[in-house]
Amino acid sequence: MNRDSEEELERKREASSVSDTSINEAKNNEKSDKQKKKKAKQKQNANKCGKNESETEDDIDVALERKRLNKKLEKLGESINVLNKKLEKSIMKVDGSVRIEIRELFT
């Protein structure tokens, strides 16, 4: 019986040590997973910060270019309006048949 009880005690010790080991491994895995996630987030944040500076400069350049183009488009629109008014005045001076044909071309 002593031998049986000793074997049982030994089995229990092994089982508890195995469970302790597996518990410790699980904890270590959780810690390493958390650390990996944390490092990945830090890398992403670092990448975002690095990109933000260049993106900000690009955004400023794009905004300036957009403003410049908008001004040119406004001037072009004004010029087209002036041209349309001049054409309408000249159409009014021409007889009816030519006026109708010209209006059809523009519509």
pLDDT by 10s per residue, the chain, length 107? 566 677 777 777 666 665 666 666 766 667 677 777 777 777 777 666 655 667 788 888 999 999 999 999 999 999 888 888 888 877 777 666 766 777 777 76
With residue 23 as reference, give the H or E element that holds it: helix 2-93
Q: What is residue 95's three-state secondary structure?
A: coil
With residue 94 as reference, give the H or E element that holds it: none
Output the six-digit token pair for 30: 């959780």
Q: Tokens 């403003």 sit at which residue?
A: 67
In whole angstroms, give the CA distance from residue 26 to residue 32.
10
With residue 107 as reference, give the H or E element that holds it: none
> For the whole prediction, is pTM greater than 0.85?
no
73: Cα separation from own chain's centroid: 29
